[in-house]
Structure 1
Amino acid sequence: MSIWDTLFGRAPGYDPTDVPEFNFGRYTDAYKSPANYAAWDKSLLAFEKGDYVESCEAFMAYLLDEREGNVKWKTEGGKLYFEFYQGSKRVTGFADDEQLRATARVAHLDANNADLLHRLTSMNYELKYSRFAIDDDGCLAIVFDTPVNDASPHKLYHALKEMALRADKQDDLLLEEFGDYLSPTEITHLQELSAEDKTRKLDFLRRRIQYVIDYLGQGKLNPEEQPGAVAYLLLDLVYRLDYLLIPEGHTMEALERMHRMYFAREDDQPVTYKNIRLLRELQHLLRRAPESFAEELYAGKSTFGITLPANHDRLVSLIDNELPNMDWYQDNGYVEVASGIPGYIVGYALFNYAVPPPDRSLLQLYYRVCEDEYFRELGFKQQFLDRDGRPARRAIRAAITDIISQHTDAYPRLRPALSQLSFDNLMDFGRSYLLMLRELDLSKP
């Protein structure tokens, strides 16, 4: 930082180096490489020719994400052995001339419990391809098997995705509820976060939830007359916590449950009642024991994503539908609500969709700016807000330019209108930033 930056309270220029190794947001497998697509075609062709083991081997190459190092396989004596990772779980299996079988151990069954076994039986009815079972080592596992001549790439993708996602989600939930009867298994591949980083994430969760609760408690908003405003604040918070904390287990399920509850189409409940339920869930997260939350914070590799692939037009539609709602709240002095609408748009898009890579990077940059303090607590040195809390013009413009340069080869028509950005305050910045994103040309020649 220069002496002039210090004297005038300005943020320093952009420096993309020395960035801590943190992942944010939900993993997506929508960003496949040309090698992945070639492996898919090879798998299809081999299956049609009846070379089933070769088809399965090529399918593993399709799943491989070299950035994650998530899949391993080898062939011995005409038999394929494979393993891949999904969060906290490892899926292992084999394919030979007769069958393909895959297993994901969820937890070790230390003692039988009628409620637990009933829960597992009920969940089996929800599964289309796989099933819960108890293996020879007394481990609760999810198993998928099929005749190899029926193991088409399409079937394998949906079946392995089902079992991997269910195993990754249920291990933490079942261990929390039935901890007296279950114990963890096969978790040595997980990367533990430091105690300091866990504390920082817990502090962020509590700080953000308490801020919204305090604002709603001030009485500036009438929850009966302005339920939409309350919903914007609460949903912005839900998506922000999900993306920036990446929790597992109870917290992840609670955030997903809040989203499902609010947007349930068959639920004819008024928005006011839904807001009350959202607030209760958030208050419950606020009261949870720190050690319970800390156990849900770890880093792991993934193979399948749950977000839906979406093109740039989907993001444009979301912006067009929601951003104009800022006007009334801004004109009537509800700055917090007006500022929350861009946050809601960004969070909703990242929570639900696998948007194109340039969109994803630019949406994350929005969080980098708005949550500058949190990122700096995690060790990110780049400052995106100046001393007065205003967006830092030079750093943000340079960061956008850097993101565009990373995607120019794939999207040569990317030319963001940086001159449209407003840096007066976070509210105006949020509006202008999303309008800039809206106008991006992600078409390919």
Structure 2
Amino acid sequence: MDGLLTNMNWLNFFYNKTTHLRHSFGRGINATISPKEEELFDKSYEAFEKGEMLKAYEYFFKSLENFSLDSSNKNIITNLQDDFLEFEIFQGSAKITGVVTADKLYAQAIIIKKEDAQVALKRYLLQRNYQLTYACYFYDDEFIKLKLIQDNITASPQKIFFPLREIALTADFDKEFIKSEFSSITLEDTQHLVKLSDNELKIKYDFLHLWIDELEVKISTLPTNDNAGMQSFLYLNFIFKMDYLLVPKCEIYQKVSKKVQSYFNDESISPEAKNEELKRYIQKLKVMTYKDFSSKFYNAKYTFNPLEKSSQEEINNFISESQIKIRWYKNNRYKQIISSIYTYVPFNILYNYGLNPITKSLLHTLVEIQNPSFFKALDYTPLYDEEKNTFFKKAIIARVDEAILPNQKQFKSLEVFGDKLNFSSMNELSNSYLLQLKHLDFEEV
């Protein structure tokens, strides 16, 4: 990242500006950044230059605050005193507390009670210390904690962003890991987590089983020979869809993350074996009781996105490669897999790539179009009528405009494309939509 940047435009890449969502989707932040974010950043930068450390940090923390429907999510709370600044940062299962003085920044996250730590867990945390750049694990008389200490001599908004991001993301991930792998251990400092409503949990549980049933039917219709590639698209599409739309936490998230990493990174395993492994896990999800399922979800506040920013070229290359595969299946008359690949593409991008808020918003709109029954069950106005096979064109075009028009001052070559979409069928709509995403131009003014 360019160290010469003097405003927080680069920070926008860690946020999703979607304003109409009442539920969380995916692993990013479903909120808007502060409308005064750039102004607050500039004030923070100037205060650091003047050596006014407490003011600098206060402005910086306020620039990280995010909003839902113009109301603060209180994902960051500060308390400025005469000679120190107290703060709290919320990141999923983790709460980071700390204090800033003129000389130092100190932050910590309480993980578990010291007496609860098993040998295997202690070994894991020691290994984590070797992986971290800024933070480290330690224990006091009562708790195991993750801590961060930064000297303020050369502090700037850019220099403090990444250490704070590391401690927040690490604390959240490791608390979920402990919940998944050491279920008998009680996590500390989780009072801020909010349970989902029974209605939402039941909707998600029902759709999980509906999607599994649909998956099994589609698998059964594939040709009996040479179908490993098609099975891969179907299984991965299910995994990515579940992760983005249902947003499971704890054990499900941990298992899915490991299986996705293994699928794409372990070249020693055949595609057939990888598919079989995904199939076995999906069968475990199928027999999971509602009580067990409902324990894997919660609502929480988030301050940092987990993925590093991806270049537009990387995203364009993935779309192009996917379109090549679609053409191959079309030419070889494997039409039953085409629609699944079109839904797989946006879910894959949302799972694997760090997106700017414009691209993320546009991809979410495509997901809403492709999955109308799920969003209708959550009481969103549908963008596609499945019974009549018709699109709500004006609404779709308005959603595209909403994502692009406010950003044209910053990106001079960014153009709306709603009127260029092909509404003749779902496959054609998906294809034309992905083509337009490839043509997005983020050259700044």
Q: What's the TM-score once normalised by structure 1's chain length?
A: 0.83
Name the counterpart of 2:6.
none
Aligned to 1:94, which of 93, 99, 102? 99
Give how far 1:284 is off. Answer: 3.0
Compared CA separation, residues 166 and 291, structure 1 to 2 (3 A): farther
Give how far 1:403 is off. Answer: 4.2
- CA distance in structure 2 between the partners assigned to 1:38 and 1:135 by the alignment: 40
Name the counterpart of 2:289.
289
Contact 1:82–1:94 (CA under 8 A) maintained in structure 2: yes
Name the counterpart of 2:161.
157
Q: Does 1:208 align with 2:207?
A: no
Give how far 1:21 is off. Answer: 1.4
- CA distance in structure 2 between the partners assigned to 1:81 and 1:179 by the alignment: 33
Compared CA separation, residues 282 and 288, structure 1 to 2 (3 A): same
Aligned to 1:83, which of 79, 82, 88? 88
Aligned to 2:76, which of 52, 71, 77? 71
Give how far 1:108 is off. Answer: 4.0
Compared CA separation, residues 45 and 413, structure 1 to 2 (3 A): closer
Compared CA separation, residues 114 and 81, structure 1 to 2 (3 A): same
Aligned to 1:144, which of 145, 148, 155? 148
Compared CA separation, residues 284 and 132, structure 1 to 2 (3 A): farther
User: How do residues 26-425 of structure 1 correspond to structure 2 at under 5 angstroms?
Assistant: 26-28=27-29, 35-44=36-45, 46-47=47-48, 50-67=51-68, 68-109=73-114, 111-136=116-141, 138-149=142-153, 153-180=157-184, 182-220=185-223, 222=225, 225-264=226-265, 267-411=267-411, 413-425=413-425
Contact 2:106–2:147 (CA under 8 A) maintained in structure 1: yes
Q: Deviations over 1:362-385 (max 9, x none)?
A: 211111111111111111133522
Contact 1:308–1:354 (CA under 8 A) maintained in structure 2: yes
Question: Aligned to 1:187, what secondary structure does the other structure show?
Answer: coil
Question: Aligned to 2:435, what secondary structure does the other structure show?
Answer: helix
Give how far 1:327 is off. Answer: 1.9
Question: Aligned to 1:149, what secondary structure does the other structure show?
Answer: coil
Compared CA separation, residues 220 and 402, structure 1 to 2 (3 A): same
Query: Given residue 193 of structure 2, which amino acid in structure 1 is its aligned partner?
Result: L
Query: Given residue 301 of structure 1, which amino acid in structure 2 is its aligned partner?
Result: K
- CA distance in structure 1 between the partners assigned to 2:407 and 2:60 by the alignment: 27
Contact 1:25–1:243 (CA under 8 A) maintained in structure 2: yes
Query: Given residue 169 of structure 1, which amino acid in structure 2 is its aligned partner?
Result: F
Query: Given residue 239 of structure 1, which amino acid in structure 2 is its aligned partner?
Result: F
Question: Aligned to 1:189, what secondary structure does the other structure show?
Answer: coil
Task: Please report the RMSD computed on the Cα atoms of aligned residues, expressed in angstroms.
Answer: 3.1
Q: Deviations over 1:49-99 (max 9, x none)?
A: 544444433432343334443112122121111111101221110022443
Question: Aligned to 2:259, what secondary structure does the other structure show?
Answer: helix
Compared CA separation, residues 406 and 46, structure 1 to 2 (3 A): closer
Contact 2:383–2:391 (CA under 8 A) maintained in structure 1: no
How high is the sequence identity, in percent, across the aligned residues? 26
Contact 1:28–1:354 (CA under 8 A) maintained in structure 2: no
Contact 2:236–2:344 (CA under 8 A) maintained in structure 1: yes
Give how far 1:305 is off. Answer: 0.8
- CA distance in structure 2 between the partners assigned to 1:34 and 1:375 by the alignment: 28
Give how far 1:248 is off. Answer: 1.5
Contact 1:376–1:383 (CA under 8 A) maintained in structure 2: no
Q: Deviations over 1:299-334 (max 9, x none)?
A: 211111112223544433322222132123234443
Contact 2:91–2:301 (CA under 8 A) maintained in structure 1: yes
- CA distance in structure 1 between the partners assigned to 2:89 and 2:349 by the alignment: 28
**Comparing 45-54 with 306-315, which one deviates more in the overlay?**
45-54
Give how far 1:353 is off. Answer: 2.6
**Comparing 110-119 with 196-205, which one deviates more in the overlay?**
110-119
Compared CA separation, residues 29 and 297, structure 1 to 2 (3 A): closer
Structure with the bigger RCO (C-alpha within 8 Å, sep 6+) is: 1
- CA distance in structure 2 between the partners assigned to 1:307 and 1:253 by the alignment: 16
- CA distance in structure 2 between the partners assigned to 1:151 and 1:272 by the alignment: 51
Provide the aligned length of Structure 1 versus Structure 2: 423
Give how far 1:406 is off. Answer: 5.0
Contact 2:104–2:152 (CA under 8 A) maintained in structure 1: yes
Q: Deviations over 1:399-434 (max 9, x none)?
A: 434544554555565444445433343222211221
Contact 2:376–2:382 (CA under 8 A) maintained in structure 1: yes
Name the counterpart of 1:5.
none
**Comparing 191-200 with 402-411, which one deviates more in the overlay?**
402-411
Give how far 1:245 is off. Answer: 1.4
Query: Given residue 338 of structure 1, which amino acid in structure 2 is its aligned partner?
Result: I
